């Protein structure tokens, strides 16, 4: 009987070891899935962001700027020249103003140039 009880005890121990190993393998597998679960989601997020950025750039580049006729270009050049002459006269006044630093004068000059260009474009395109 001693051999039978010893064999059945050994059999029970082996079964318990197999069950423990199976449980441990299952837990390790679940942990591996949890650790790797965020990687595909992160990869998908990167792909979606890249596609969105590409679409934004593509849409921006698909809109072709309006082409100007030679008359419009000439009109704008003359209007800008006249506006620049006015800016130069104003800049002489700005230089005499002690409250304005050279940097302030540069900013005012740049802003005036932008306004002149915008006004010229609007005037020569028929007010569009």
Neighbouring residues of 112: CB distance < 8 A, sequence distance ≥ 6: 83, 87, 90
> Is 63 a residue whose pLDDT tops 70?
no
pLDDT per position as a tens digit, 16-42: 889 888 888 888 888 877 777 777 777
Neighbouring residues of 116: CB distance < 8 A, sequence distance ≥ 6: 79, 80, 83, 84, 86, 87
The model's pTM is: 0.43
């Amino acid at each position: 009987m001693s051999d039978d009880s010893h064999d059945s005890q050994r059999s029970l121990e082996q079964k318990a070891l197999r069950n423990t190993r199976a449980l441990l393998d299952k837990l390790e597998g679940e942990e591996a899935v949890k650790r790797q679960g965020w990687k595909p989601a992160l990869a998908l997020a990167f792909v979606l962001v890249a596609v969105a950025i590409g679409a934004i750039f593509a849409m921006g580049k698909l809109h072709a700027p309006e082409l100007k006729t030679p008359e419009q270009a000439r009109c704008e050049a003359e209007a800008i020249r006249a506006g620049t002459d006015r800016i130069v006269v104003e800049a002489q006044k700005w230089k005499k103003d002690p409250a304005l630093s050279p940097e302030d004068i540069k900013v005012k000059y740049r802003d005036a140039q932008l306004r002149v260009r915008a006004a010229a474009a609007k005037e020569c395109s028929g007010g569009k």
